[in-house]
Amino acid sequence: MDEHKLKTGTTTVGMVCKNGVVMATEHRATMGHLIAHKTTQKLFKIDDNLGLTVAGLVGDAQTLYRYLCAEVDLYTLKRRNHMSVKAAATLMANILSGRRYAPYWVALIVGGVDPSGSYVYSLDAAGGSIPDKYVTTGSGSPFVYGVMEDHYKESITVDQGADLAIRAISAAMKRDSASGDGTDVTQITSSGYNLLSSEEVKKRRAKMKLD
């Protein structure tokens, strides 16, 4: 199977919290009406202060993840400091816009923290980069926006944000056939990148009676 033809129908979300950022995705990858994979990674650690979510063609998404990781690693080695969230988003936007006649078929979220604050950026295939308080991508995004519009507050903590992300992704998985098979959630704060275990996600789902 050609991974460049494999599409992640996808639901992803990123949100700014008062003490960091929360990012989350589900696991399903589809090819037409076929559920091709049930354990697809769509949430990536870029650095201790940066995360990336991907929606779109698997091959393009994996290539872009490798590009961004390499550039961030080089920056850290040269500057002995973490790249800012805005710089990482701008770098990725430049990579995307540089392939205008054969675009990367992706929608990305770059999020994280730096000394100036907490941020999430939505990036499109043409290289657009827009910061927001919360953003969602993929086929399940309308359902996520419904949950976020109702429950998100700027005073939310990363602990509360993790619950909200799980609730939002769960809503999408119930209604979007291209989204499903589990949830990845990370909390990014000044203390680092904390990927919740599958057991922790299950406990939070059970506490919110989502199962």
Q: What CA–CA distances, in Å, run from 172 to 78, 144, 206?
A: 41, 6, 17
Smallest CA-to-CA distance from 45 within 186, 191, 209 is with 186
**Element holding 136 (H helix, E strand):** strand 134-137
Cα 65 to Cα 122: distance, rounded to the nearest angstrom:
15
3-state secondary structure of 206: helix
Question: Count of CB atoms within 10 A of residue 137's CB?
Answer: 25
- Which residue is catalytic, options 10, 53, 186, 189? 10
Cα 189 to Cα 172: distance, rounded to the nearest angstrom:
26
Q: At which residue do the structure tokens 């939070």 appear?
A: 204
Q: What is the largest CA-CA distance in the chain?
A: 48
36: tokens are: 């091709």
- Residue 10 catalytic? yes
116: tokens are: 């100036």
Active-site annotation, residues: 10
